[in-house]
Structure 1
Amino acid sequence: MIFLLLKEVCIENFTAIPEAIKRGANRFELCDNLAVGGTTVSTGVMEESIHYCQEKHIPVMAIIRPRGGNFVFNDTELKIMATDLIEAKKLGIDGVVLGCLTEDGWIDEEAMELLLDEATGLQVTFHMAFDAIPKKQQFEAIDWLVEAGVERILTHGGSADQTIDACLPHLKDLVDYANGRIIILPGGGVHQDNCEMIASKLGVNEVHGTKILGSL
């Protein structure tokens, strides 16, 4: 049985945060432009969200991503990401959500090491860029992320066109392989009506989604 299921609500702006907290949000991921998979929110949105949530003792994570599309970032984009990360840290963010890949679908180790260095002292989630890593390499990717000190991996367990139910077997394999070394955070199709079932089947106590608490 899952106790104290942590519900991370993915949200584009400040507007719905007060209502989400009333409904039981345990953590937020600030993630603008969800239609393209999420990009970094404005400094103003981040500052107000952090200030409000700190008073309520609710942690806030922020995606650090300069654009939609793939997760292969050039030097200029990485500079933008590093600047956004530094600013988020100054504002008092609890953690950041990021992910960088190489052209062949492996973790961009150099880029990640650069960003992780800037993120020292923050929680770090490797986002759904993980799902673009070939499945046979995802277990090795878990090992790399554990060694790098990343706290959790946000993953759908498969391609976006697959239902979360269809992805549960692979998600369970990831959870079992992680074996408590890193948090596997299921997302993508996780909502108010299925989150407890998914958490129970996977043996996790954190879930992520835009509809975890219903429509806001």
Structure 2
Amino acid sequence: MSQTAIIQRPILEIACFNQESAVVAAGAGADRIELCKDYHLGGLSADIKILEELKSQLTIPIYTMIRPHAKGFCYEESDFESMKRTLNSLKSYGADGFVFGILNGSPQKPCDPNVSWVDISRNKQLVQLAGGRPCTFHRAFDLIPESHWENALADIMECGFASILTNGGPSGTKATECVDKLQTLVGYKTRLQGEGKIRGKRVPEIIVGGGVRASNIGLLQRITGASAFHSAALLASEEVTCANEVFKMKDGIGRVWETDGRAQ
């Protein structure tokens, strides 16, 4: 297990698409909420009124999604302006962090290692607009070919992101199908830490998401060495987070940390 995983107690972030889910998740032991809306679209920008109400109810951090539509992660200038306005509004209502990711248009030479899939300029503008509040580069990362991951991770670090949410493979796959790739990605992160210190940059934390459940979170933690996990904790066709599932996930990663982490 990586030194980072040994030192840092794992974080459990719960994606919530309504107010009730956030309250349930916090009560069941979640460390952080990712607030968004429209689960069936993969999550869009959070509702400001719900954030305002939750800030008066919860004490754990609430990160808010900044995603204007579900058409992809390449945005027109009007979309980008909308994202800036949304971020400013959510910041004014107390968002503790932000979740977004902007990719460049389809690269002309996608196999050219000099072509960046990450829109460094616009991502950096949003990170700066966040005013020091942590930002997560969300699962736009899953569209980046594995051969470009190391460069993409360096670009995302350059933007100032605190973390990357990924399932380790193409959209639609689950983290359990990509454990080896996730382990590789965590390895890239570890190797970049030295460079990050030299350049005064924080190396983004890898958040493992995509089908994460109580039944597999321990396995994912042991194999990948990741120190943060993400789940909606929804069961079947339910629309509200399952408290027992959150509790069992939190308990599961805590047990692995106790036995495999601190024991070392």
Report the TM-score when normalising by structure 1: 0.92
2:24 to 7, 19, 22: 19
- Three-state SS of the structure 2 residue aligned to 1:165 is helix
How far residue 212 of structure 1 moved from its aligned partner, in angstroms, is 8.0
Task: Tell me by how many angstroms 1:70 deviates.
Answer: 0.6
2:106 matches 1:104: yes
1:152 aligns with 2:179: no
The more displaced of 69-78 and 3-12 is 3-12
Once the two structures are superposed, residues 59-104 of structure 1 have per-residue CA deviations (whole angstroms, 9 ceiling, x without a partner) of: 1100100011210101111111000101111111110000001122
Q: Aligned in 2, Cα 1:212/1:176: closer, same or farther, shift over 3 Å?
A: farther
Distance 2:133 2:156 in 1: 15
Alignment-derived partner of residue 112 in structure 2:
none
Match of 2:224 among 175, 188, 202: 202
Amino acid at match of 1:22: G
Q: Name the SS for the 1:157 alignment partner.
A: coil
Superposition CA RMSD, Å:
1.9
Give distance in 2, aligned partners of 1:148 and 1:16: 31
Whether 1:140 and 2:151 are equivalent positions in the alignment is: yes
Is the 1:13–1:41 Cα contact (8 Å) retained in structure 2?
no
Cα separation, 1, equivalents of 2:222 and 2:141: 22
Task: Determine what percentage of the aligned residue pairs are the same residue.
Answer: 30
Give CA-to-partner distance per residue, 1:21-77, whole Å, 9 cap, x none: 221111000021121111012210111122222xx3x01100100011210101111
Change (3 A) 1:161 1:18: closer
Which of these two proteins has the greater Rg computed from alpha carbons?
Answer: 2
> What is the CA-CA distance between 1:200 and the residue it aligns to?
1.9
Q: How does 1:105-120 map to 2 (within 5 A)?
A: 106-120=117-131
- 1:73 matched residue in structure 2: 75
1:138 CA drift (Å): 1.5
Structure number with the higher helix fraction is 2
Unaligned runs of 5+ in 2: 108-116, 194-202, 236-240, 244-264
Q: Is the Cα contact below 8 Å between 1:190 and 1:212 reproduced in 2?
A: no
